[in-house]
Amino acid sequence: MAEQTPEPFADIRGSHVVDYVLRNVHQQLVALSSQADLKANIMITVTSILLSLSLTHLDSGRLRWSAIVFSGFLLLALVFALLSVLPKFPFPGQRRRQAETSEPDLLFFNDVAAMPKGKYVAEMARVLAHDGTAYQALVSNLHNQSIYLLKAKYRYLTLSYATFLTGVLAATIALIAYVSR
């Protein structure tokens, strides 16, 4: 039985194919992040405009309950959209939420900014000394970016859209219930 190497990238050598795959995955993550920001900005704009319009109908007898319901859901959708574009990581020097024993991501700006320059340069020299450790750092960074994108952006963006849709349906039901009385 073959012995497994302790480092999964120990035997990996530099390759154009590997570079191409990693570059494409990174470009896809950047595109997904940009799309999430664009969608959040659309939700922020739409919910802000509709909230302003909806609040003008709070004293209108026929539309009052529908406007109240819709305004509440719009406000919640707006908060979720804002949370999706708000940075979610601590500033350098602040306590990190993750365990202190976890290795810093040398390719993530927040982890880099938290390290003294000499330590960062030494760690990067160690990582870049071999193809395998450089690829391991890249793959680890892609994994960290994917987790951040899913948990910090798309989770709140999904909640924003779902809340908006629920608000439209709830306001419509409130209006129909009022009209059918």
Q: Tens digit of pLDDT for each residue in 49-104?
A: 999 999 988 887 888 889 999 999 999 999 999 999 988 766 555 555 554 547 88
What is the residue whose two structure tokens read 């990581």? Answer: 89
Give the pTM: 0.80
> Given this model, what pLDDT does residue 53 score?
93
- Write the DSSP string, 40-99: HHHHHHHHHHHHHHHHTTTT-TTTHHHHHHHHHHHHHHHHHHHHHHS--SPPTTSPPSS-
pLDDT digits (tens, 9 = 90+) for 111-167: 888 899 999 999 999 999 888 889 999 999 999 999 989 998 999 999 999 999 999
- Can you tell me the mean pLDDT for 33-44? 96
Question: 33: closest CA among 171, 157, 125, 118?
Answer: 157
d(CA 85, CA 79): 10
In order of 63, 117, 168, the CA distances from 165 in angstroms are 18, 48, 5
pLDDT digits (tens, 9 = 90+) for 67-80: 999 999 999 999 99
